Amino acid sequence: MIVIGSDHGGLELKEEIKKLLQERGIACQDLGTNNGDSVDYPDFGVQVAKRVSTGAAEKGILVCGTGIGMSIVANKFPKVRAALATDVFMATMAKEHNNANILVLGGRVISAGLAREMVCAWLDTEFAAGRHQNRLDKITALEGELKITCC
């Protein structure tokens, strides 16, 4: 299952991504926001990142105005590798090289059509492992050294 969340700046794009996931037969849990009222992006980023961090969800998608704020919030959580992408290549590399488990998009930065392509690329790309796994192991070790815990 994929958990998805947005602030008001990402609401429209989040709704488009939910349609795409439904079209592809992928279960999705929407953690909000659900209207255009101004909200604080950390409130929704935390909900998605916490579920991915604890293993309650395998993957997540976050959307805010630029994607920057959601990226900062999500990457505070252990075991989260949230990647902000602005094109298909970045979305592909986020998975292939970094095994990103949260894709972050900017609702005011990219079009719905491009976002659909990016989400498909991220979902369809396999993690290359090999030398890339060694790099992820270093990140995991750093989380341990810094005693980063969750929830």
Catalytic residue positions, numbered? 64, 97
Instruction: Give me the numbers of helices (H) and strands (E) for the chain, helices first please.
Output: 6, 5
Q: How many CB atoms lie within 10 A of CB 47?
A: 17
Asked if residues 63 and 103 have their Cβ atoms less than 8 Å apart, the reply is: no
Find tokens 């719905």 and name the residue.
112
The CA radius of gyration of the chain, in Å to the nearest whole number, is 14
User: Buried b / exposed e across 79-101, counting CB within 10 Å, b at 16+?
Assistant: ebbbbbbbeeebbbbbbbbbbbb
Q: Is 33 helix (H, G, I), strand (E, B) or coil?
A: coil
Tokens of 100: 């990103």
